Amino acid sequence: MITLRQLRFLTALAEELNFSRAAEVCFVTQPTLSAGLKELEQMLGVQLAERSKRSVLLTPIGEEIATRARAVLLAAHEIEDLAAAHKAPEEGDLRLGAIPTIGPFLIPKALPHIRAAFPKLRLFLREEKTDSLLEGLASGRLDVVLMARPFEIGTAEFTPLFDDGYHLATPPGWGRAGGAPVDGGALEGARLLLLEQGHCLQRHALRAFPDRDIQQDESFSATSLPTLISMVSEGLGITLLPDLAIDAGVLSGQQVDIAPLTGACPRHVILAWRSTSARKPVFQALADILRQTRTGLLPAAPG
Amino acid sequence: MITLRQLRFLTALAEELNFSRAAEVCFVTQPTLSAGLKELEQMLGVQLAERSKRSVLLTPIGEEIATRARAVLLAAHEIEDLAAAHKAPEEGDLRLGAIPTIGPFLIPKALPHIRAAFPKLRLFLREEKTDSLLEGLASGRLDVVLMARPFEIGTAEFTPLFDDGYHLATPPGWGRAGGAPVDGGALEGARLLLLEQGHCLQRHALRAFPDRDIQQDESFSATSLPTLISMVSEGLGITLLPDLAIDAGVLSGQQVDIAPLTGACPRHVILAWRSTSARKPVFQALADILRQTRTGLLPAAPG
DNA sequence: TTTCTTTTATAGAGATTATCTATATAATAG
DNA sequence: CTATTATATAGATAATCTCTATAAAAGAAA
């Protein structure tokens, strides 16, 4: 029978490609890891790593087994999590990931309520793009993620939080925008500035009007909403801003005009987790808090 | 860190609900299993089993953890399988399950070819109904199963083998059946005998003509095709027989008339396996052999 | 080439852990 | 009340694991 420890040794070696460093990661000495791995190779009857005295490389079968080993270790860890969550569902560490176009505008307002609801919970926050969040969720690096659909989320489970529409942001005095609602026609042919590739907001904005031909001006791409707004205030073009960001005050002090954008397909903001997670009740409670936090912000319509 | 052995102890106890017998299953003594389980409970910090001196019962969290433990152990075992399959993909034990309305008519003819293709393979055969096959596949009790769709197969992977149509079987001299093809109209209002509930053939036959109202005569249900054919030959009613069974000679010596049944939705015979299995190439080769075996039997049309 | 550095493998000692047998303890059936 | 069945505990033994120290090999540098 192979052991979880041996599998842990293998995954550590797969990541470090160095026996000594892998041993450190596992909090054992290098001979211990060497012996454990040798034992695993003997038990399985296959060579997992090619060792030259100078470098280590996993064999193809070693890579495959390392991949499966990671899954086994994650599942075993989830058993421990399940037990811990059963003892005290509202304690312990919770690693929450969020996309940059939602997290900073929702989480800070929600934090006091989360603290109040789960005083013993230690919340770790990370901002990453959607692809990275989902990878982190699947690998066990994150416990729960805040993101926006439409997006392929694989085997994760989720609950919808709220829909998030757009405002049109234009340079001061640009065209007709003076607070009155505008429709998608305002975007056609305009110099539309968006976030760089990889931000789901960029994809979502381009598809907000499926029937219109909307093109991004790719001569400049911003890496954050504040930067994007600055570019608009400089007169470089117009952009779409999520209602959530506006309500959270992302415009404060920036010289741009905004107008509600009617008829756009909104982003569906969701909270997602591994379907095997033991803490669904906490996630549902967290979702309730986030929904109420959104409602508590300024209403989207007036702008 | 919990160990695989502890998880094994838990699953054994979950099945036996008895420390001594669980210990036997794990090839250790009862004190060893007691100690191991106690250790697991301490590590997880939750009570897994309620022990009275007279009976053992898993706690709810114990049941949940036992379920996950089975998954972890299966995944760990698959790592060992993967290594063994890598060493010698065409050796070792292969546990093949098949439904009773297909297996006996296909496997015997295929066996010589399988032996020839994989001389070192030890093939274990089981006949079970579809539900049981899929459960066995998911739990690791079976490696590969031979069954018929439409059927919900969950997360299993599969490859289609061939389609299997029907003949109408009637008592000698009954009505017009004299070998000439008949259509679904022959079934309406007739005393239709089928296998008992749980056999997918029963469900499939009732749905062979979605547009017709076909009712099973439930006063007698057969438990096997030969029994069913005997009932028809006794004049108790008519039935549908899979072409495969007829071509394999299930009628030999029985006094019934048969006629090809046109327009019926055929059963889609498939070979299915766990998507995580390490032996897909062997399964694909097995599928090829089964397809060729079917082709080698008498053609279905003449009857 | 020689030496130094880096890296993995091996040896042997010591300590921890696991497993067994034997037995205690408890509960139920007869 | 006794016999039976089932789980927990104790203590001895055996197995295993992990450590330190060191060897061996392969590049890199002098």
Instruction: Dump pLDDT digits (tens) for B59-77.
Output: 878 888 999 999 999 999 9
Residue A216's pLDDT band, with cuts at 50, 70 and 90, is confident
Nearest nucleotide by C1' from A33 CA?
D18
What value does the mean pLDDT take over residues A174-203? 77
Residues A63 and A34 in one domain: yes
Counting beta carbons within 10 angstroms of the beta carbon of residue B81, is it exposed (0 to 12), middle (13 to 18) or buried (19 or more)? buried
Task: Using CA coordinates, name the residue in chain B closest to A80.
Answer: B44
Provide the pLDDT for residue B302.
41
Residue A54's pLDDT band, with cuts at 50, 70 and 90, is low
Chain D positions within 7 A of any protein Cβ atom are 5-11, 17-21, 24-27
- What's B50's domain CATH number? 1.10.10.10
Residue A176, domain extent:
166-262
Residues B75 and B211 in one domain: no
- A·B CB contacts under 8 A: 84
Structural domain count, chain A: 3
Residues A152 and A69 in one domain: no
Provide the pLDDT for residue B79.
94
Q: Which of A85, A111, A133 is the last residue of a domain?
A: A85
Residue A52's pLDDT band, with cuts at 50, 70 and 90, is low
Specify if A301 maps to a domain.
no
Provide the pLDDT for residue B301.
42
Residues 55-94 of A with CB under 8 A from B: 61, 64-65, 68-69, 71-72, 75-76, 78-80, 82-84, 86-87
Specify if B110 maps to a domain.
yes
CA separation (Å) from A220 to A188, A192, A227, B249? 18, 10, 11, 75
Whether the beta carbon of A9 falls within 7 A of nucleic chain C: the reply is no
Residues B109 and B252 in one domain: no
Provide the pLDDT for residue B71.
94
Provide the pLDDT for residue A209.
83
Q: Does the structure show a pLDDT above 90 at A269? A: yes
| Contacting residues for A174 by C-beta, under 8 A, at least 6 apart | A235, A238, A257
Which tens digits make up the pLDDT trace of A79-116? 999 998 888 877 888 899 999 889 888 998 889 999 99
Interface residue B40 vs chain A (CB under 8 A): no
Residues B83, A71: C-beta atoms closer than 8 Å = no
Cβ–Cβ under 8 Å, residues B130 and B147:
yes
Mutate to test the interface with B, among A72, A155, A275, A277 (most CBs of B within 10 A): A72
Q: Which of B66, B85, B104 is the last residue of a domain?
A: B85
Q: What percent of chain A has pLDDT over 90?
A: 20
Q: Which of A85, A112, A134 is the last residue of a domain?
A: A85
Specify if B203 maps to a domain.
yes
Walking along chain B (303 residues) 10 residues at a time, the average pLDDT comes out as 91 87 88 88 86 72 90 93 84 88 88 89 89 85 89 86 90 70 75 83 82 77 84 85 87 84 88 84 91 73 40
Specify if B32 maps to a domain.
yes
Residues B256 and B116 in one domain: no
Tell me the average pLDDT of chain A. Answer: 85
Q: Does the structure show a pLDDT above 70 at A228? A: yes
CA angle A285, A294, A111 (to 5 degrees): 60
Nearest Cα to A264, choosing from A212, A223, A202? A212
Residues A139 and A285 in one domain: yes
CA separation (Å) from B146 to B111, B138, B201? 14, 14, 13
Specify if A17 maps to a domain.
yes
- What's B102's domain CATH number? 3.40.190.10
Q: Does the structure show a pLDDT above 80 at A26? A: yes
Residue A206's pLDDT band, with cuts at 50, 70 and 90, is confident
Specify if A248 maps to a domain.
yes
What value does the mean pLDDT take over residues A30-36? 88
Which tens digits make up the pLDDT trace of A107-157? 988 899 999 989 888 889 998 989 888 888 888 888 999 999 888 888 888
Provide the pLDDT for residue B296.
74
Counting beta carbons within 10 angstroms of the beta carbon of residue B194, is it exposed (0 to 12), middle (13 to 18) or buried (19 or more)? buried
Q: Does the structure show a pLDDT above 90 at A294? A: no
